């Protein structure tokens, strides 16, 4: 398969997405870069290393990226992902350390090494991708495809009435990324909020009694608590990042509305961080019709949570 970089703010659903990808030996994961978001960028890298070591993949390099957004701010979400960003699940501290290279440079270096082949999967705020675009203006030609978990097209926001967290955490960076003119797929809340993990999936993971699915069960349990308390009033949790991962590697048949112009509200009003799409394709004065054209996944052709659960149950303990 084509080489892949995952850029993420490792948190609960980011960790599940990484495990989903690591569960497929055909996925050629070349690096995982960290960004602030669910937790700070250093803790996110540390969490990534813990997950990689859990499955014996210390060979995958981890680098640290943006600590703050374009405006120099950052607000973590410990009420969703726990104080340590990973549900306080107690994975051992990593034996390895992040590499010295800053995350945007990792993205640029690998893009140059694999011209036209590298795929990017962004599961956090888009600050590292925007910075990489400034470092290497040819990045859109060098990268094969970008998949972003982010935005809300017809769906309400999840951090404000209008905005989804990853975009809201850095609207200025998101706008740069959406205007870069590369082949980009957006996986917004419209689809991630309809793909729900439930207590049944949690129990299935727990019942295996094995290390990796048990870890997945423990972080999912924490996630279900949050969703029950603050979102749905029931034990169902959104599959944001794992679904975007499945879309990125072509594992899930889905309808991608092609060539949809998407812009981001970067103002300071109630819609800051909202993604606005010209879904009618009829507003010729839409601000960035020429430069911005994303494929937007608004529905999948098949349910994904069971596929994710089975993949995670497929990790067997080493003897
Ligand atoms: C997105 O925000 C983060 O909290 C999650 O990990 C996911 O990437 C959902 O809005
Ligand atoms: Ca994330």
Walk along the chain (319 residues) and give the pLDDT tens digit of each residue. Answer: 899 999 999 999 999 999 999 999 999 999 999 999 999 999 999 999 999 999 999 999 999 999 999 999 999 999 999 999 999 999 999 999 999 999 999 999 999 999 999 999 999 999 999 999 999 999 999 999 999 999 999 999 999 999 999 999 999 999 999 999 999 999 999 999 999 999 999 999 999 999 999 999 999 999 999 999 999 999 999 999 999 999 999 999 998 877 788 999 999 999 999 999 988 877 766 655 556 688 999 999 999 999 999 999 999 988 6
285 Cα: distance to centroid of ligand 1 (angstroms): 31
295 forms bridges with which residues in the sheet? Answer: 185
Give CA separation, 265 vs 51, 132, 140, 152, 168, in Å. Answer: 34, 22, 23, 12, 9
Q: What ligand is nearest to the CA atom of residue 149?
A: 1
CB-ligand 1 contact for 241 (6 Å cutoff): yes
Q: Name the residue among 151, 198, 196, 165 with its Cα closest to residue 298.
A: 151
According to DSSP, the β-strands at 184-187 and 275-277 are: unpaired
Whole-structure pTM value? 0.97
Whether 297 and 247 have beta carbons less than 8 Å apart is answered as yes
Enclosing H/E stretch for 118: strand 118-122
| Backbone dihedral angles phi then psi of residue 153, each to the nearest 5 degrees | -90, -65
CB-ligand 1 contact for 158 (6 Å cutoff): yes
Instruction: Judge whether 319 counts as a catalytic residue.
Output: no
Instruction: Judge whether 9 counts as a catalytic residue.
Output: yes
**Most ligand 1 atoms within 8 A of CB, residue of 8, 78, 80, 150 to mutate:** 150
The active-site residue, picked from 145, 168, 240, 241, is 240
Task: Tally the residues of the chain.
Answer: 319
Closest ligand 1 atom number to CA of residue 159: 10
Look-up: residue for tokens 């991608």?
256
Closest ligand 1 atom number to CA of residue 13: 6
| Backbone dihedral angles phi then psi of residue 313, each to the nearest 5 degrees | -70, -15
Closest Cα to atom 4 of ligand 1: 38
**Most ligand 1 atoms within 8 A of CB, residue of 165, 169, 239, 242 to mutate:** 165
Whether 140 and 116 have beta carbons less than 8 Å apart is answered as no
Query: What token pair was written down for 212?
Result: 């990796």
According to DSSP, the β-strands at 275-277 and 262-264 are: antiparallel
């Amino acid at each position: 398969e084509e080489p892949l970089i995952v850029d993420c703010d490792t948190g609960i659903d980011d960790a599940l997405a990484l495990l989903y990808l690591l569960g497929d030996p055909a996925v050629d994961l070349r690096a995982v870069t960290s960004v602030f978001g669910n937790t700070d960028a250093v803790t996110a890298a540390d969490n990534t290393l813990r997950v990689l070591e859990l499955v014996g993949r210390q060979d995958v390099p981890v680098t640290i990226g943006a600590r703050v957004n374009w405006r120099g701010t950052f607000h973590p979400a410990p009420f969703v992902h726990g104080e340590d960003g990973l549900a306080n699940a107690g994975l051992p501290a990593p034996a390895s350390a992040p590499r010295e290279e800053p995350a945007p440079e990792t993205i640029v270096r690998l893009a140059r090494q694999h011209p036209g082949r590298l795929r990017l999967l962004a599961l956090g705020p888009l600050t590292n991708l925007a910075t990489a675009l400034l470092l290497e203006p040819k990045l859109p030609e060098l990268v094969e495809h970008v998949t972003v978990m982010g935005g809300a097209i017809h769906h309400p926001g999840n951090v404000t009435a209008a905005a989804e967290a990853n975009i809201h955490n850095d609207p200025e960076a998101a706008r740069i990324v959406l205007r870069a003119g590369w082949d980009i797929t957006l996986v917004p809340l419209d689809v991630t909020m309809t793909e729900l993990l439930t207590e049944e999936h949690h129990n299935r993971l727990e019942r295996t009694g094995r290390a990796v699915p048990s870890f997945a069960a423990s972080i999912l349990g924490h996630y279900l608590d949050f969703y029950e308390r603050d979102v749905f009033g029931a034990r169902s949790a959104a599959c944001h990042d794992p679904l975007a991962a499945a879309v990125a590697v072509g594992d899930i048949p889905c309808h991608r509305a092609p060539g949809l112009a998407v812009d981001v509200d970067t103002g300071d009003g109630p819609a800051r961080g909202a993604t606005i799409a010209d879904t009618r394709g009829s507003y010729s004065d839409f601000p960035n019709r020429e430069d911005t054209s994303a494929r937007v996944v608004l529905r999948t052709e098949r349910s994904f949570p069971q596929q994710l659960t089975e993949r995670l149950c497929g990790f067997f303990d080493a003897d």
